[in-house]
């Protein structure tokens, strides 16, 4: 009898112990991000918002390096506080995130994918610049790492130590500048979101796509209303809309403004940035 | 799901199905030696196929007549030994005379009978050139387990085990009634095995829960008829172990590092959880017309449910911690001192940065589930779909089989066996969303095709019948199809004894048909994915002849030849079964030529065997899939026209040094390699385009098993004590070769004249020992024993793995320019290493 009881006890104990743990859908601490037990799982939660400068100030301090398309190590203990204005959610930007504050914008170039998972649009972050590099890639201001005497992508592990998420996305934080004509475009808006009002895609015929895979990594398209040194630049390999048919007719087009020397480049972050205008 | 299975199982038990097999020809394993009992009849983890070594499970093989094969599986199971390096599909497994091998993949998953050691002890093993009463054996032999209730030893048996292997605790109880006066026999077995995810183990995080059962009933109706019913299963849920690179093992500081593990809110979580439940019922009818004519008929019904979870990503980065972009060597070229471009100071700084990251904390080198959840929640705040999720890959099979075997003694010196078998099988492959990891939705669209077509294009749809379906947990997505396989065989053997000569001839002829039935209309094959495919038919068969010449004085010579054609496995017969109904072009039966010459000596003090063998396989087909760098796409690859040769020498010596001390020596030197290049046809998952190439496979070897091995052991028996010490050496363990690095096009791009050599794992020496004692009690007996494996803790023996199917270069399709990557996939194969010191302590109480 004792033996039977022992067997029964062990069997019941085993059955009770079996079964996979019932993992929650979402960990409790993500449901209320203001009550995180140890901070956000991405970035460096120990950063403190001291010595914060504006993005315009940062670009001014390193204007020579940027305009000469070189890079320089940031040795000063300075930070920027910025809002994410575009990320890689549809790979319109790849390996990069666009940050802006009220004074301007800048690209951060990171050797990483899935950045949209930790830096959603309209989230506010603090960037510790000391130890990072700044420079100009074809005179486009970027934060990153040195690459072939200019600026390139930084190691994703380095990046994780140099930013802190300050808050979740908030509606209304990112408001694109309205651009009605080429004359309104200037260096002031580099790295920021702008909306090109009432434009149309050159060559849109109901068949042409943004970036067919023709062996080149990037494909450039033009706007009928802008000269040919204003281009839409799209990754043929990675942009999720690369083979979407370019819409015929007029659109309001929201893009990140960048440049490569004398060419102004428009990067379309997502399909949602193309708003068809009614006839 | 489990409710469905319980209903089915109950229905199976109540269904009067017919079957059969020759019970009295089985080899009865001696139950009197408890040490033998626990060591020999506990399947090793590699035999159960539960160590995740790339599916390369050890062969379960034995033989009463051959010293080598009688011992090699148990002595060298830890190395992943497979008999002559054959794929396990060539090892045919029967239960009560009916074939139980998977009809789609060919092999038997021994985990289906895991924990049923007390039931599976009665088996009839046959080497490739040994006749038996249930089949014409395969080239890797065959085994027939007798699951009849009357064969379970009479009485109760309780076993308690503690181990640091696949499981840490095992409780096993079995009961056999024996045959009562009214002719009934009943038997049962229940086994619980358990390991926690944080337990003291040789593999990190591979938790284990299983509860296997067996129930058998048998009724001797009269002197001519006996019916028996057996039902069993081994429902199991376990965490898997993944192979990794030497760099990751180095950074983790252990060769038992498991990259499938992660942390979730501070708790350990395994991303790959296997659920396995295959309730099986066998009904057997033994009919003895007279002393010379016996017929065994068996019917089989199996409902197998197998699933595995994994991590997947969408428009994001691979979350595997050992993904190459997460490793230091992807930042700094550690292999080429002359590479100035990727050995700059900044590169070295990056290498150090990542090295410090990996080594600073255990959280850094495992999956960070918190990050995955956070990323999904963040993306959803911008309206995005899941960046990370966990699919569950399902394989559900229903098999019904019937076999009947007749044994007829034609006289004192000759026998005739004749058998037929048939089976119908339906295998459903599908994928569900197991865990959204906090995301709100996911589209059922082809993420490889999105970007290649307009977002509204039908070709991005996995299922045009439900376009753009938003997925929630539990929803089927990606693919959903059935594979149907019907098989029928007729076989016979005839044997003759004349003087010192025993000769036999056997042959079989078989029929196989197969087709696919799609349950989704894939955008890449709108007219060729939904509904049934055409049916493929194969006629196969072959024959064997063999003889044993008794030279007298204990000396004997065996000689055997065989030739057969086997229908291809359904698992490799379709070119891209997740997408369309297409069969592989050039699909054919594979042909097997086999021969063997063996010398045996059997004396009172010495038993020895020496065997040489040669096999050639032609027209074999192999199927695989992987991401192709050059094509920027996932690819489904079929290789046809494969030719392979297997040959070698095996020896075994058993020597009684004294009445108490016995020596056992085993050794084998073998070769198992591709003898020609083969054709490759592969489909791109981002365009459905097919490409053809040639794989320079000549010289590649079978992987995951030692081709050179030696074993020397001593066994000492004294007054109920049992002591064994064995040293094993194995070497020439190759890793599964990557086709893509041996495509002719790949070599041309790299301007290489010949294919790269196949990666070879490091072999080594392992010392095992076991000790046990049997105690006779007033009622029953008690056995206590300890088995220790790898007591020298040699953790540097590579037992298998695979070369990564990625290239070392980037290719520009417009300029044909080839640029070297910093990370060298060719130098970083994924490996499995042998467990460190591990053991099992058993207490067996019989009453």
Across chain B, mean pLDDT equals: 89
Asked whether residue B330 falls in the same domain as residue B313, the answer is no
- CB nearest to B379's CB, from A27, A89, A240: A89
pLDDT band at B719 (very low <50, low <70, confident <90, very high): confident
B6 pLDDT above the threshold of 80: no
- CB nearest to A117's CB, from B171, B316, B455: B316
Q: Which of B380, B451, B523, B823 to mutate to test the interface with A (most CBs of A within 10 A)?
A: B451
Per the CB < 8 Å rule, is A27 touching B265?
yes
Specify whether the backbone of B486 is left (phi greater than 0), alpha (psi in -120 to 50) or beta.
Answer: beta
Asked whether residue B294 falls in the same domain as residue B330, the answer is no
Residue B839: which of B200, B257, B249 has the closest Cα? B200
Asked whether residue B110 falls in the same domain as residue B150, the answer is yes
Instruction: Enter the DSSP assignment of A58.
Output: H
Q: Which of A117, A131, A209 to mutate to test the interface with B (most CBs of B within 10 A)?
A: A117
Asked whether residue A146 falls in the same domain as residue A41, the answer is yes
> B184: exposed, middle or buried (C-beta count within 10 Å: 0-12, 13-18, 19+)?
middle
Asked whether residue A92 falls in the same domain as residue A156, the answer is yes
B353 — contact with chain A (CB < 8 Å)?
yes
Inside any domain, residue B482: yes
Per the CB < 8 Å rule, is A26 touching B373?
yes
| End-of-domain residue from the set A108, A132, A167 | A167
Asked whether residue B683 falls in the same domain as residue B618, the answer is yes
E strands present in B360-446: 367-368, 388-409, 414-435, 442-443
| End-of-domain residue from the set A102, A134, A167 | A167
Query: Which chain B residues are within 8 Å of A239, Cβ to Cβ?
Result: 451
SS3 for A46? coil
Query: Which chain B residues are within 8 Å of A19, Cβ to Cβ?
Result: 209, 237
A18 — contact with chain B (CB < 8 Å)?
yes
pLDDT band at B31 (very low <50, low <70, confident <90, very high): very low
**CA dist B777 → A2, B33, B177, B199, B783 (Å):** 18, 16, 21, 34, 10
Q: What is the ipTM of this complex?
A: 0.91
Inside any domain, residue B372: no
pLDDT band at B356 (very low <50, low <70, confident <90, very high): very high
Instruction: Enter the DSSP assignment of B450.
Output: B
Name the residue of chain A whose CA is nearest to B473's CA.
A25
Q: Chain B, 70-99: which have a CB under 8 Å from a chain A CB?
A: none
Asked whether residue B624 falls in the same domain as residue B509, the answer is yes
Mean pLDDT of all residues in A131-159: 95
Q: What is the pLDDT of residue B204?
A: 82
Chain A nearest-CA distance from B91, in A, is: 33
Kindly give the residue spans of alpha helices, DSSP state H, lying in B307-424. 345-360, 369-381
Q: Which domain holds residue B354?
A: 324-365
Asked whether residue A136 falls in the same domain as residue A186, the answer is no
Contact in structure between A193 and A86 (CB atoms under 8 Å): yes
Inside any domain, residue A195: yes
Q: What is the CATH number of the domain that holds B83?
A: 2.40.170.20
Whole-angstrom distance, CA of residue A47 vs CA of residue A45:
6
Inside any domain, residue A13: no
SS3 for B825? helix
- CB nearest to A245's CB, from B196, B273, B454: B454
The residues with which B388 forms a beta bridge, in sequence order, are B313
Per the CB < 8 Å rule, is B373 touching A146?
no
Query: Which chain A residues are within 8 Å of B357, Cβ to Cβ?
Result: 157
A120 — contact with chain B (CB < 8 Å)?
yes
Q: What is the CATH number of the domain that holds A192?
A: 2.40.50
Asked whether residue A103 falls in the same domain as residue A215, the answer is no
pLDDT digits (tens, 9 = 90+) for B99-117: 999 999 999 999 999 999 8
pLDDT digits (tens, 9 = 90+) for B206-226: 899 999 999 999 999 999 999
Inside any domain, residue A10: no
Inside any domain, residue A102: yes
Per the CB < 8 Å rule, is A29 touching B265?
yes
Q: What is the pLDDT of residue B448?
A: 81
Inside any domain, residue A54: yes
Query: Which chain B residues are within 8 Å of A146, Cβ to Cβ?
Result: 346
Q: Chain B, 295-324: which have a CB under 8 Å from a chain A CB?
A: 313, 315-317
Name the residue of chain B whose CA is nearest to A27's CA.
B265
B453 — contact with chain A (CB < 8 Å)?
yes
Per the CB < 8 Å rule, is B379 touching A271?
no
Asked whether residue A148 falls in the same domain as residue A259, the answer is no
Q: What is the pLDDT of residue B266?
A: 80
Asked whether residue A163 falls in the same domain as residue A197, the answer is no
Q: What is the pLDDT of residue B15?
A: 33
Asked whether residue B500 falls in the same domain as residue B403, the answer is yes
| % residues pLDDT > 90 (chain A) | 77
Mean pLDDT of all residues in B636-664: 96
Inside any domain, residue B376: no
Whole-angstrom distance, CA of residue B773 vs CA of residue B718:
9
Which residues touch B830 (CB under 8 Å, ≥6 apart)? B242, B243, B244, B245, B801, B802, B803, B804
Q: pTM value? A: 0.91
Whole-angstrom distance, CA of residue B379 vs CA of residue B769:
55
- CB nearest to B454's CB, from A15, A26, A244: A244
Inside any domain, residue A212: yes
| End-of-domain residue from the set B332, B365, B398 | B365
Asked whether residue B152 falls in the same domain as residue B250, the answer is yes
Query: Which chain B residues are within 8 Å of A18, Cβ to Cβ?
Result: 194, 209, 211, 237
Q: What is the pLDDT of residue B20?
A: 30
Mean pLDDT of all residues in B666-695: 94
Domain count for chain B: 2
Asked whether residue A48 falls in the same domain as residue A162, the answer is yes
B341 — contact with chain A (CB < 8 Å)?
no
SS3 for B405? strand
Asked whether residue A61 falls in the same domain as residue A154, the answer is yes
Q: What is the pLDDT of residue A2?
A: 56
Return the higher-pLDDT residue of B812 and B839: B839
Per the CB < 8 Å rule, is A114 touching B452?
no
Asked whether residue A54 falls in the same domain as residue A158, the answer is yes
B436 — contact with chain A (CB < 8 Å)?
yes
Per the CB < 8 Å rule, is B438 touching A30?
yes
Asked whether residue A101 falls in the same domain as residue A188, the answer is no
Per the CB < 8 Å rule, is A242 touching B451?
yes
B451 pLDDT above the threshold of 90: no
| End-of-domain residue from the set A167, A187, A221 | A167
Domain count for chain A: 2
Q: What is the pLDDT of residue B23?
A: 30
Q: What is the pLDDT of residue A28?
A: 56
Instruction: Enter the DSSP assignment of A223.
Output: B
The CA R_g of chain B, rounded to the nearest whole Å, is 27
B342 — contact with chain A (CB < 8 Å)?
no
Residue B704: which of B744, B617, B763 has the closest Cα? B763
Identify the helix (H) or strand (E) that includes residue B13: helix B2-14
Q: What is the pLDDT of residue A29?
A: 55
B350 — contact with chain A (CB < 8 Å)?
yes
Mean pLDDT of all residues in B786-811: 92
Residue B835: which of B238, B92, B151, B77 has the closest Cα? B77
Q: Nearest 5°: CA angle at A212, between A211 and A217?
A: 70
Inside any domain, residue B371: no
Residue showing tokens 């024996």: B178
Mean pLDDT of all residues in B608-613: 96
Asked whether residue B307 falls in the same domain as residue B329, the answer is no
Inside any domain, residue B111: yes
Cα A80 to chain centroid distance, Å, stands at: 16
B826 pLDDT above the threshold of 60: yes
Q: Chain A, 49-88: which have a CB under 8 Å from a chain B CB?
A: none
Name the residue of chain A whose CA is nearest to B354's CA.
A157
Q: What is the pLDDT of residue B386?
A: 95
Asked whether residue A150 falls in the same domain as residue A186, the answer is no
Q: Chain A, 236-275: which have a CB under 8 Å from a chain B CB?
A: 237-245, 271
Contact in structure between B711 and B665 (CB atoms under 8 Å): yes
| End-of-domain residue from the set B308, B338, B365 | B365
Return the half-sphere exposure (C-beta side, CA atoms, 13 A cut-off) of residue B407.
22
- CB nearest to A113's CB, from B316, B370, B371: B316
pLDDT digits (tens, 9 = 90+) for A163-173: 999 998 999 99
Q: Which domain holds residue A72?
A: 36-167
Asked whether residue B463 falls in the same domain as residue B357, the answer is no
Residue B834: which of B657, B704, B662 has the closest Cα? B704
Per the CB < 8 Å rule, is A11 touching B192?
yes
Inside any domain, residue A6: no
Q: Which of B153-157, B605-609, B673-677, B687-691 has the lowest mean pLDDT?
A: B687-691
Asked whether residue A142 falls in the same domain as residue A44, the answer is yes
Query: Which chain B residues are within 8 Å of A112, Cβ to Cβ?
Result: 317
Q: Which of A90-94, B8-12, B388-392, B600-604 has the lowest mean pLDDT?
A: B8-12
pLDDT band at B22 (very low <50, low <70, confident <90, very high): very low
Mean pLDDT of all residues in B699-724: 94
B359 — contact with chain A (CB < 8 Å)?
no
- CB nearest to B438's CB, from A3, A26, A118: A26
Inside any domain, residue B167: yes
Q: What is the pLDDT of residue B391?
A: 97
Name the residue of chain A whose CA is nearest to B208's CA.
A18
Query: Which chain A residues are within 8 Å of B265, Cβ to Cβ?
Result: 27, 29
Asked whether residue B103 falls in the same domain as residue B225, the answer is yes
A218 — contact with chain B (CB < 8 Å)?
no
Q: How crowded is residue B227: how many other Cβ atoms within 10 Å of its Cβ?
A: 19
Inside any domain, residue B370: no
**CA dist B67 → A69, B70, B617, B659, B667 (Å):** 76, 5, 27, 19, 11
Inside any domain, residue B696: yes
């Amino acid at each position: 009898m004792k033996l039977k009881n022992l067997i029964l006890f062990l069997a019941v104990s085993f059955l009770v112990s079996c079964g996979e743990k019932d993992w929650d859908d979402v960990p409790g601490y993500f449901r209320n991000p203001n009550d995180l037990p140890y901070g956000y799982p991405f970035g460096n939660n120990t950063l403190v918002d001291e010595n914060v400068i504006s993005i315009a100030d940062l670009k001014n301090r390193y204007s020579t390096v940027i305009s000469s398309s070189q890079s320089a190590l940031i040795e000063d203990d300075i930070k920027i506080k910025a809002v994410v204005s575009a990320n890689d959610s549809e790979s319109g930007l790849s390996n990069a995130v666009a940050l802006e504050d009220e004074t301007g914008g800048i690209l951060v170039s990171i050797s990483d994918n899935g950045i949209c998972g930790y830096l959603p649009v309209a989230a506010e972050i603090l960037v510790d610049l000391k130890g990072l590099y700044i420079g100009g890639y074809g005179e486009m201001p970027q934060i990153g790492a040195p690459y072939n005497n200019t600026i390139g992508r930084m190691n994703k592990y380095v990046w994780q130590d140099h930013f802190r998420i300050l808050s979740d996305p908030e509606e209304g934080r990112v408001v694109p500048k309205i651009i009605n004509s080429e004359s309104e475009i200037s260096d002031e808006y580099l790295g920021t979101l702008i909306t090109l009002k009432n434009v149309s895609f050159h060559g849109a015929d109901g068949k042409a796509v943004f970036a067919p895979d023709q062996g080149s990594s990037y494909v450039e398209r033009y706007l009928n209303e802008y000269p040919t040194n204003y281009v839409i630049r799209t990754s043929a390999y990675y942009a999720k809309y690369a083979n979407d048919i370019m819409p015929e007719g007029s659109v309001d087009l929201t893009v990140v403004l960048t440049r490569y020397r004398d060419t102004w480049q428009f990067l379309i972050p997502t399909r949602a940035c193309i708003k068809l205008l009614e006839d | 799901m489990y409710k469905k299975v319980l209903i089915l199982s109950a229905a199976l038990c109540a269904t009067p199905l017919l079957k059969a097999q020759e019970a009295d020809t089985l080899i009865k394993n001696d139950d009197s030696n408890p040490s033998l009992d626990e060591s020999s009849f506990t399947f090793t983890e590699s035999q159960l196929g539960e160590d995740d070594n790339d599916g390369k499970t050890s062969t379960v093989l034995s033989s009463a007549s051959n010293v080598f094969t009688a011992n090699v599986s148990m002595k060298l199971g830890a190395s992943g030994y497979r008999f002559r390096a054959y794929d396990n599909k060539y090892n045919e497994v029967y239960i009560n005379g009916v074939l139980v091998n998977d009809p789609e993949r060919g092999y038997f998953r021994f985990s289906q009978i895991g924990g049923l050691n007390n039931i599976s002890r009665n088996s009839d093993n046959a080497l490739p050139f040994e006749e038996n009463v249930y089949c014409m054996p395969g080239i890797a032999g065959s085994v027939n387990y007798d699951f009849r209730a009357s064969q379970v030893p009479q009485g109760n048996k309780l076993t308690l085990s503690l181990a640091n292997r696949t499981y840490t605790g095992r409780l096993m109880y079995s009961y056999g009634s024996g045959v009562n006066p009214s002719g009934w026999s009943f038997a049962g077995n229940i086994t619980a095995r358990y390991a926690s995810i944080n337990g003291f183990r040789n593999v990190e995080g591979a938790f284990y829960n299983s509860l296997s059962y067996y129930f058998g009933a048998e009724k001797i109706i009269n002197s001519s008829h006996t019916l028996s019913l057996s039902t069993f299963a081994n429902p199991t849920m376990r965490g898997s172990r993944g192979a990794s690179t030497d760099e990751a093992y180095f950074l983790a500081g252990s060769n038992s590092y498991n990259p499938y593990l992660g942390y979730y809110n501070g708790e350990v979580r395994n991303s790959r959880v296997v659920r396995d439940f295959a309730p099986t019922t066998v009904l057997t009818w033994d009919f003895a017309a007279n002393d010379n004519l016996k017929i065994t008929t068996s019917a089989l019904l199996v409902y197998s449910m197998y699933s595995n979870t994994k991590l997947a990503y969408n428009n994001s980065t691979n979350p595997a911690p050992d993904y190459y972009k997460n490793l230091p060597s992807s930042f700094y070229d550690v292999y080429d001192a002359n590479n100035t471009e990727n050995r700059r100071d900044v590169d070295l700084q990056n290498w150090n940065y990542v090295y410090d990251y990996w080594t600073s904390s255990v959280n850094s080198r495992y999956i960070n589930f918190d990050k995955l959840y956070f990323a999904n929640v963040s993306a959803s705040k911008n309206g995005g779909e899941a960046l990370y999720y966990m699919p569950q890959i399902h394989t559900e099979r229903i098999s019904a089989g019937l076999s009947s075997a007749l044994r007829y003694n034609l006289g004192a010196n000759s026998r005739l066996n004749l058998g037929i078998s048939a089976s119908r099988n339906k295998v459903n492959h599908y994928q569900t969303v197991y865990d959204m990891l906090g995301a709100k939705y996911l589209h059922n669209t082809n993420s490889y095709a999105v970007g290649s077509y307009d977002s509204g294009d039908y070709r991005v749809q996995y299922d045009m019948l439900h376009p753009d379906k938003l997925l929630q947990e539990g929803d089927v997505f990606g693919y959903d199809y059935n594979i149907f396989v019907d098989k029928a065989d007729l076989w016979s053997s005839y044997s003759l004894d004349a003087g010192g000569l025993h000769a036999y001839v056997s042959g079989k002829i078989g029929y196989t048909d197969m087709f696919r039935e799609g349950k989704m209309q894939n955008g890449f094959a709108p007219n060729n994915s939904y509904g049934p495919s055409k049916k493929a038919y194969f006629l196969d068969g072959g024959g064997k002849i063999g003889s044993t010449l008794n030279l007298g004085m204990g000396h004997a010579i065996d000689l055997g030849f065989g030739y057969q054609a086997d229908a291809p496995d359904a698992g490799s017969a379709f070119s891209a079964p997740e997408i369309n109904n297409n069969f592989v072009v050039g699909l054919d039966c594979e042909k097997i030529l086999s021969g063997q010459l063996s010398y045996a000596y059997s004396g009172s003090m010495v038993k020895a065997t020496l065997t040489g063998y040669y096999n050639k396989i032609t027209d074999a087909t192999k199927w695989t899939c992987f991401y192709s760098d050059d094509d920027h796409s996932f690819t489904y690859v079929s290789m046809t026209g494969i030719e392979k040769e297997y040959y070698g020498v095996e020896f075994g010596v058993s020597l009684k040094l004294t009445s108490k001390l016995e020596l056992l020596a085993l050794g084998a030197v073998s070769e198992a390699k591709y003898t020609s290049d083969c054709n490759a046809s592969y489909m791109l998952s981002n365009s459905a385009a097919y490409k053809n190439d040639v794989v320079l496979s000549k010289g590649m070897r079978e992987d995951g098993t030692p081709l050179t091995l030696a074993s020397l052991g001593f066994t000492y028996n004294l007054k109920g004590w049992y002591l064994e010490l064995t040293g094993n050496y194995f070497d020439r363990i190759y890793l599964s070769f990557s086709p893509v690095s041996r495509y002719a096009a790949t070599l041309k791009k790299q301007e290489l004249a010949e294919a790269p050599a196949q990666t070879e794992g490091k072999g080594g020496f392992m010392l095992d020992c076991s000790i046990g004692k049997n105690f006779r009690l007033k009622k029953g007996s008690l056995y206590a024993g300890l088995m220790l494996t790898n007591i020298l803790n040699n953790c540097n023996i590579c037992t298998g793995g695979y070369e990564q199917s990625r290239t070392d270069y980037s290719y520009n399709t417009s300029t044909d320019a080839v640029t070297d990557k910093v990370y060298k996939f060719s130098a970083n194969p994924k490996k499995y290493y042998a467990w460190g010191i591990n053991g099992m302590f058993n207490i067996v109480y019989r009453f």
